């Protein structure tokens, strides 16, 4: 039996919130979440802002440490083997950080050198990725601060894929993109998964995106995984005609797309 690419068991993470001058309360961003992702599978986590999606991705990306629970990624456990995990993942987030004064080319080559890659070979791979994402070659030398939100997100995806990672963690990768850029990114991810067998964990609150890209979907609400299955299984379980209706019936919440993520998410 093939080993799962991602195993998460009984994961919990809380943050302290100050109420007034003296009082503090705990907010559970992730509350006893368990799921597995098979190698080569695209698994989606659907939830509104504040549901815990981004906190979960940050833990899997080694940017946060869970309070308790078990995480294993391609045989490496967190947080004990975080250095090994960092070598096998690519991460794309809605708030990707860049050196905004530098060009797209300079940002990407800097990343390539950090990973010990040959600059010329890395540049060729990046150009191929950006071409597939529908980005013009002329934009490659433009400073990031002069690029649109959609262009910057395409650069972020190219950066994550430079090392050809077997695991790709996508945190709201198409939030705020125009319709064409969103379609370009979705088509690219479909082709990547089919061609390379990349395992993809995708967080989103776009129902159509989840239904298009994901073999299985988990519904997150208030830090809890309340249901999971294929889109058809979830709709059948909820007695709903659409995935959106299934989410509302199974979680009691609606998904509302916003430009920026809530801090607790």
pLDDT tens by residue, the chain, 265 residues: 467 999 999 999 998 776 655 656 678 899 999 999 999 999 999 988 888 898 999 999 999 999 999 999 999 999 999 999 999 999 988 776 777 788 888 888 888 888 788 878 877 877 787 777 777 665 678 888 888 777 888 888 888 887 788 999 999 888 777 888 888 888 888 988 888 889 999 998 889 999 999 999 999 998 999 999 999 999 999 999 999 999 999 988 665 544 333 334 4
Query: Which pLDDT score, from 0 to 100, does residue 258 have?
Result: 43
Scanning 133-230, the segments in alpha helix (DSSP H) are 149-161, 179-196, 207-213
Query: Which pLDDT score, from 0 to 100, does residue 260 have?
Result: 38
How far is it, in rounded angstroms, from Cα 58 to Cα 68?
15
pTM, entire model:
0.84
Query: Which pLDDT score, from 0 to 100, does residue 31 have?
Result: 93
How far is it, in rounded angstroms, from Cα 251 to Cα 226?
7
How far is it, in rounded angstroms, from Cα 233 to Cα 218?
11
> Helix or strand or coil: residue 241?
coil
Name the packing angle between helices 149-161 and 104-114 (round to 10°). Answer: 20
Query: Which pLDDT score, from 0 to 100, does residue 140 have?
Result: 75
DSSP code of residue 27: E
Listed in order, strand segments (DSSP E) in the chain are 6-19, 23-37, 42-46, 68-73, 76-78, 89-93, 167-171, 199-204, 216-221, 224-229
Strands 68-73 vs 224-229: parallel, antiparallel or unpaired = unpaired
Q: Which residues contact 146 (CB under 8 A, 6 or more apart)?
A: none
DSSP code of residue 4: P
Q: Which residues contact 60 (CB under 8 A, 6 or more apart)?
A: 6, 8, 71, 73, 78, 89, 169, 201
Query: Which pLDDT score, from 0 to 100, does residue 132 have?
Result: 78
Q: Percent helix, strand and coil across the chain, each rounded to 5?
A: 40, 30, 35
């Amino acid at each position: 039996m093939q080993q799962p690419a991602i195993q998460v068991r009984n994961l919990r993470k809380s943050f302290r919130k100050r109420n007034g001058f003296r009082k503090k309360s705990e907010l559970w961003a992730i509350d006893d979440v368990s799921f597995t992702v098979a190698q080569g599978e695209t698994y989606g986590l659907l939830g509104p802002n504040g549901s815990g999606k981004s906190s979960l991705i940050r833990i899997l990306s080694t940017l946060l440490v869970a309070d308790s629970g078990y995480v294993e990624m391609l045989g490496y456990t967190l947080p004990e083997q975080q250095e090994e995990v960092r070598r096998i993942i690519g991460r794309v987030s809605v708030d990707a950080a860049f050196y905004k004064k530098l060009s797209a080319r300079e940002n990407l080559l800097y990343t390539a050198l950090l990973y010990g890659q040959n600059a010329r070979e890395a540049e060729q791979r990046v150009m191929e990725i950006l071409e597939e994402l529908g980005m013009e070659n002329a934009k490659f030398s433009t400073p990031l601060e002069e690029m649109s939100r959609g262009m910057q997100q395409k650069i972020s995806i190219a950066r994550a894929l430079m090392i050809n990672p077997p695991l790709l963690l996508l945190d709201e990768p198409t939030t705020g993109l125009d319709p064409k850029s969103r379609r370009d990114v979705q088509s690219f991810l479909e082709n990547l998964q089919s061609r390379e067998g990349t395992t993809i964990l995708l967080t989103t609150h776009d129902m159509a995106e989840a239904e298009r890209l994901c073999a299985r979907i988990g519904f997150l609400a208030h830090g809890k995984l309340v249901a999971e299955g294929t889109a058809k299984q979830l709709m059948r379980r909820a007695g709903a005609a659409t995935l959106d209706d299934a989410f509302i019936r199974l979680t009691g919440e609606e998904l509302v797309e916003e430009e920026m993520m809530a801090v607790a998410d």
